[in-house]
Amino acid sequence: MGNPFKRLVVRGAKLVGILVLVLAMAGLVYQQVGLRRDAGLAPPASEMVVVNGRHVHVVCMGEGAQTFVLDAGLGAWSIRTPFIYVGHSLGAIFAQIYYAMNPGDIAGLVLLDPGSPQALLAGFPGGREAAVAASDCPPLCQAARISTLLGLSRLAVSAGGTVSFPDPWVRTQYRAAFAQPHTAMTLAAELAAAPKTAYQNQDIASFHDTPILILRSAERVRPDKDETAAEFAKSRDDYRAYLVALAAKSTRSGRPLQVPQSTHATMLIGEMSAKVIADHILEFAGGLDIRFAVLPSPHPPAPVR
Q: Please name the amino acid found at residue 72.
A: A
Contact between 31 and 47 (Cβ < 8 Å): no
Flag whether pLDDT at 289 surpasses 70.
Answer: no
How sure is the predictor about 177, in pLDDT bands with cuts at 50, 70 and 90? Answer: confident
Return the higher-pLDDT residue of 228 and 52: 228
> What number is the average pLDDT over the span 200-216?
93
> What number is the average pLDDT over the span 4-23?
85
Please choose, from the candidates 174, 67, 111, the residue with its C-alpha nearest in 3D space to the C-alpha of residue 304. 111
Kindly state the DSSP code that residue 105 receives in the 8-state scheme.
Answer: G
Task: Report pLDDT for 264.
Answer: 84
Task: Report pLDDT for 69.
Answer: 72
What backbone torsions phi and psi does residue 105 show, to the nearest 5 degrees? Answer: -80, -15
Flag whether pLDDT at 214 surpasses 90.
Answer: yes
Task: Report pLDDT for 292.
Answer: 34
Structure pTM? 0.71
Contact between 192 and 141 (Cβ < 8 Å): yes
DSSP assignment of 197-240 equals HHHHHHT----BT--EEEEEEPPPSS--TT--HHHHHHHHHHHH
Task: Report pLDDT for 47.
Answer: 67
Flag whether pLDDT at 57 surpasses 70.
Answer: no
Flag whether pLDDT at 198 surpasses 50.
Answer: yes
Return the higher-pLDDT residue of 280 and 4: 280
Please choose, from the candidates 40, 39, 239, 21, the residue with its C-alpha nearest in 3D space to the C-alpha of residue 150. 21
Task: Report pLDDT for 56.
Answer: 67
Question: Whole-angstrom Cα distance, residue 294 to residue 278?
Answer: 8
From the DSSP assignment, how many helices (H) and strands (E) are in the chain? 12, 8
Beta-bridge partner residues of 87: 111
Flag whether pLDDT at 243 surpasses 70.
Answer: yes
CB neighbourhood size of 261 (10 A): 13
3-state DSSP assignment of residue 108: strand
Flag whether pLDDT at 3 surpasses 60.
Answer: yes
The 3-class secondary structure across 73-95, one letter per residue, is CCCCCCCCCCEEEEEECHHHHHH
Task: Report pLDDT for 44.
Answer: 62
Kindly state the DSSP code that residue 63 receives in the 8-state scheme.
Answer: -
Question: Whole-angstrom Cα distance, residue 238 to residue 258?
Answer: 16
Contact between 249 and 206 (Cβ < 8 Å): yes
Contact between 73 and 51 (Cβ < 8 Å): yes
Task: Report pLDDT for 303.
Answer: 44
Please choose, from the candidates 94, 113, 289, 110, the residue with its C-alpha nearest in 3D space to the C-alpha of residue 211. 110
Domains of the chain listed by start with CATH number: 47-134+193-303 (3.40.50)
Contact between 154 and 180 (Cβ < 8 Å): no
Length in residues, the chain: 305
How sure is the predictor about 126, in pLDDT bands with cuts at 50, 70 and 90? Answer: confident
Q: How far is CA 178 from CA 89, 90, 216, 235, in A?
A: 18, 17, 25, 29
Flag whether pLDDT at 269 surpasses 80.
Answer: no
Question: Whole-angstrom Cα distance, residue 285 to residue 223?
Answer: 36
